[in-house]
Amino acid sequence: MINLLDLDAADLAAFFAGLGEKPFRAKQVSHWVHQRLVDDVGAMTDVSKALRGRLAAAAQIRGPAVVSDTTAADGTRKWLLDVGGGNAVETVYIPEDDRGTLCISSQAGCALDCAFCSTGRQGFNRNLTTAEIVGQLWHANRALLADGVSANGRPERELLPPGGKARSAKGAPMTAPWIEQGRAPITNVVMMGMGEPLANYDRVRAALGVFLDDDAYGLSRRRVTLSTSGLVPALDRLRDDCPVALAVSLHAGNDALRDRLVPINRKYPLAALLAACVRYLDRAPRDFVTFEYVMLDGVNDAPAQAHELAALVRDIPCKFNLIPWNPFPGAGFRTSPRARILAFQSVLMDAGFVTTIRKTRGEDIDAACGQLAGRVQDRTRRAIRMRPVPAAPSVH
C-alpha cells in the first residue's frame, strides 16, 4: 500500500501515469490530501467512483500515530509521534500574532552528537520517511483546524464555507480548501526539530517540495527555513535543488571551540562552511543567512568571543539569532546569564549585525530547542527531571 503522504508532485504524477490516468488527477488528489486534509480516499468526491475504488486498492493516507499531545501555558503545542521501534519524534507548533510556525523533525535521534543537544545525546536511530516528515505538517494543520484555530487566530467555525463532508478526529467539520484561502493554521515551517535535515537529504528534499508545491501546502520559500549544523556537500545540493531560507548553527567563532561543540566541524571546518553559505546566498530566497548561536555560560559567551565572531563573518550577509541554552540533565553546561547574553548581543549589533535573542517557548512541556528527546521510554525520566532543573531565563 502506498502512503500518499510519501509522494511529492513528481511521484504522484508517476503514480497516476502508472494507473493510466491523466496528469490532472495527481493535482486533484494532492488538493484533497494536503489542502482539504482528508484521511480517506473515499472522501474525494470529485474523483469518479471507479477511480476511487482503484485508488483505495493501491493507496492510503496514513498520518502519524500520536502518542501525546500537550499544550504549554504560552500556547505552544507539542505532539509526540510514534515512529516505531520504541522511538518517537516531536513536532512543535508555535503560535505568534502574525503567523503559526511548525518546528518539524527530520530524524529519530541524530548522529552528529553536538555536546549541548539532547537529541544528539540519544544517538541516531533512523531517518524519517517523506511521509513521516510531511505527515507532521498534515497532522498539525488538521489538528489545529479541528480545534478551530486558523491562521488569523479567529475561530475557524465562524469562517466555514459551505460544502464538504470530511470530519476530524474530534468531529469538527473539516471542509474547505483552507490553504487556498490563506487560512491554514501553519504559515511557516522550520526544519529545526529532532535530527540533522541535511543528513536525510533525499527525503527532506521531497518533503520541502511538498511544502512549497502550490497544489499542496503552497508555502513560499521564505516561509520555510532549514537549519543545519553544516553538512557542506548537502548544503550545495540544497542550493541547486530547493533553496529555502537557511539557518546555520554556528555556536563558535573559531575551529578549536567549534570542533568541541559541533563535532561535524572537524570534517567541514568554518572556512568551508562559510564559503558554502556565500554560495548558497546566490540562490537563497532571502539575502542573508541566519546564524544560530547557543549561549553557553563561560564557554562561548564572552565579549571577546563576540568580537571574534563578528570578524569571522564580516563579509557575509547575515543575521544572528542567539539561543539561550535550554538545559537537560547531565549535559554539563549552564545557560548564560541574561546580562551576558545582552552584552554579547551589543557587541554584534555594534559591529552592524542584526541580532535577535530567541524567546524560549514551551519550556514547561519540554518543547524548547534542543529539549526534544522523543523517546517513548524516556518520558518518565523526563517528567521526573522537570522539578530539579532550573528554567532557562526568558529573554526578549
Residue from 37, 112, 247, 368 binding ligand SF4 (CB under 6 A): 112
Residue from 294, 309, 318, 367 binding ligand SAH (CB under 6 A): 294
Q: Which is nearer to ligand SAH, 56 or 312 (CB)?
A: 312
Per CB under 6 A, which region of 60-68, 79-87, 224-232, 342-350 contacts ligand SAH? 224-232
| Eight-class DSSP state of 161 | P
Residue from 12, 13, 117, 145 binding ligand SAH (CB under 6 A): 117
Is residue 110 a contact point for ligand SF4 (CB under 6 A)? yes
26-55 residues in contact with ligand SAH (CB under 6 A) are: none
- CA-CA-CA-CA dihedral for 140, 63, 214, 228, to nearest 10: 70
Q: Which is nearer to ligand SF4, 63 or 197 (CB)?
A: 197
User: Could you tell me how many helices (H) and strands (E) the chain has, helices first?
Assistant: 12, 14
Taking CB within 5 to 8 Å according to partner kind, which of ligand SF4, ligand SAH, none is near residue 246? none
Residue with cell 546580562: 339
Per CB under 6 A, which region of 72-80, 158-166, 318-326, 378-386 contacts ligand SAH? 318-326
Residue from 64, 195, 253, 362 binding ligand SF4 (CB under 6 A): 195
Binding mask 247-286 for ligand SF4 (x = CB under 6 A): --x-------------------------------------
| Eight-class DSSP state of 84 | E
| Eight-class DSSP state of 43 | G
Pairing of strands 289-295, 245-249: parallel
Residue from 9, 26, 270, 323 binding ligand SAH (CB under 6 A): 323
- Please state, in angstroms and as integers, the Cα–Cα distance from residue 374 to each residue in 4, 98, 126, 142, 331, following that order: 25, 29, 13, 22, 17
Contacts of 109 (CB under 8 A, 6+ apart): 87, 119, 122, 123, 124, 125, 126, 194, 195, 374
Q: Which amino acid is at 139?
A: H
For residue 32, give the nearest of 243, 225, 174 by alpha carbon: 174
Contacts of 390 (CB under 8 A, 6+ apart): 327
Is residue 119 a contact point for ligand SF4 (CB under 6 A)? yes
Q: Which is nearer to ligand SF4, 6 or 366 (CB)?
A: 366
Distance, CA of 91 to CA of 230 (rounded, Å): 22
Per CB under 6 A, which region of 63-71, 110-118, 154-162, 378-386 contacts ligand SF4? 110-118
Q: Which amino acid is at 282?
A: D
Count the residues in the chain: 396
Smallest gap from Cβ 196 to ligand SAH, in A, equals 4
Is 277 catalytic? The answer is no
Catalytic entry in 110, 242, 318, 369: 369
Per CB under 6 A, which region of 14-22, 31-39, 115-123, 170-178 contacts ligand SF4? 115-123
Pairing of strands 355-357, 318-324: parallel
Pairing of strands 65-71, 289-295: unpaired
Q: Which amino acid is at 141?
A: N
Taking CB within 5 to 8 Å according to partner kind, which of ligand SAH, ligand SF4, none is near residue 113? ligand SF4
Smallest gap from Cβ 44 to ligand SF4, in A, equals 37
Contacts of 190 (CB under 8 A, 6+ apart): 101, 102, 103, 104, 224, 225, 227, 247
Distance, CA of 369 to CA of 362 (rounded, Å): 9
148-207 residues in contact with ligand SAH (CB under 6 A) are: 192, 196
Is residue 230 a contact point for ligand SF4 (CB under 6 A)? no
Residue from 326, 336, 345, 355 binding ligand SAH (CB under 6 A): 326
Q: Residue 133: which H helix or E strand, with range? A: helix 130-146
Is 90 catalytic? The answer is yes
Active-site residue numbers? 90, 369
Catalog residues that contact ligand SF4 under the rule CB under 6 A. Answer: 110, 112-114, 117, 119-120, 195-196, 229, 249
